[in-house]
Amino acid sequence: MNGKTPGHLGIIMDGNGRWAKARGLARTQGHLEGLKAAKRIVKAASDRGVSYLTLYTFSTENWKRAADEVGFIMGLVRQYLRAELDFYRENSIRIRHAGDIGGLPPEIREDIARAMEDTRDFTGMQVILALNYGGRDEIIRAVNRALNGAGGPDAGFTEARLRSFLDNPDVPDPDLIIRTAGEFRTSNFLLWEGAYAEYHISEKFWPDFAEADLDQALASYGRRDRRFGGIPSPGAP
Ligand code: IPE
Ligand code: IPE
Ligand code: MG
């Protein structure tokens, strides 16, 4: 039992569509409720002493969805970024982004840039919005940055060098990744960074995910023996 709170928590917020379908509602309603859940869990994670929270909000594969659903999600993200500044200030929350920023519509890029700028000096929890994010895409962009940047390809790659070209190299690897809606897959989330993340799968659809579910995930994490390829620590389960 490590009894610790994860320094970096990642969440694959899944099941908005199924939540809506189960109630005979449009998928967009599920995303609206999903935003409420995200606000709830941002506050709860901050209160519990998490330092970094990465929220998988929209993947590089989610563009395959209908244009009106994609547009609705983008609208929600804009609303969230614009309306929450007081909340970020009160809780000293810093907003960051992971993913291919260049592939997002200009107005969202501006909202992200503004939120990042407005919150850059806040020293509490960092919320990293993984938006237009794919783990493979992040690695490809990192390699291209390296090819185009200082050192050049001849400098060779080490783990540290590749990491330095990822989206947020200063952010430590995720300790715990929660996925909701009962799916057991990464769906391209934090492929490099999550190499040794502990996973917790919740059966709840994301809009139903509550503080108590977060506490259950954190308690489960606290009982894990993290070996990182070594041998179990003495007294571990
Ligand atoms: C997660 O919920 C939100 C995004 C992927 C944007 P889904 O929309 O994937 O919900 P399900 O998986 O269809 O239930
Ligand atoms: C993963 O969920 C992406 C996000 C939560 C943003 P998906 O619903 O896109 O994943 P798949 O398609 O079920 O693997
Ligand atoms: Mg899904």
Pair of tokens at residue 75:
């609208």
- Which residue's CA is minimally distant from atom 9 of ligand 2? 62
Q: State how far the Cα of 112 lies from the Cα of 100, in Å rounded to an integer.
A: 12
- Does ligand 1 have an atom closer than 6 angstroms to the CB of 221? no
Q: From CA 57, how far away is CA 11, in angstroms rounded?
A: 9
Question: Helix or strand or coil: residue 146?
Answer: helix
Tell how far the Cα of 234 is from the centroid of ligand 1, in angstroms: 41
The architecture that CATH gives domain 8-222 is 3-Layer(aba) Sandwich (3.40)
CB 116 within 8 A of CB 93: no
Tell whether ligand 1 has an atom less than 6 A from the beta carbon of residue 62: yes
119 CB near ligand 2 (under 6 Å): no
Residue 126 and residue 176: Cα distance in Å, rounded?
Answer: 15
Which of 83, 82, 75, 86 has its CA nearest to residue 32?
75
pLDDT of residue 150: 65
Cα–Cα distance list, 236 to 2, 4, 174, 176, 197 (Å): 9, 14, 21, 18, 18
* 149 Cα to the center of ligand 1, angstroms: 36
Q: Is residue 14 annotated as part of the catalytic site, yes or no?
A: yes
CA of 12 from ligand 1 middle (Å) equals: 9
Q: Which pLDDT score, from 0 to 100, does residue 158 have?
A: 84
Q: Can you tell me the distance from the alpha carbon of 172 to that of 135, in angstroms, rounded to the nearest whole number?
A: 16
**Nearest listed ligand to the Cα of residue 64:** 2
13 lines ligand 2 (CB under 6 A): yes
| pLDDT tens per residue across all 237 residues of the chain | 466 999 999 999 999 999 999 999 999 999 999 999 999 999 999 999 999 999 999 999 999 999 999 999 999 999 999 999 999 999 999 999 999 999 999 999 999 999 999 999 999 999 999 999 999 999 999 998 888 876 655 667 888 989 999 999 999 999 999 999 999 999 999 999 999 999 999 999 999 999 999 999 999 999 999 999 998 877 666
Of the residues 62, 118, 173, 208, which is catalytic?
62
Domain ranges of the chain: 8-222
3-class SS at 56? strand
Residue nearest to atom 12 of ligand 2 (CA): 187
Q: Which of 18, 64, 185, 202 to mutate to test the pocket of ligand 1 (most atoms within 8 A of CB)?
A: 18
The pLDDT score that the predictor gives to residue 233 is 75
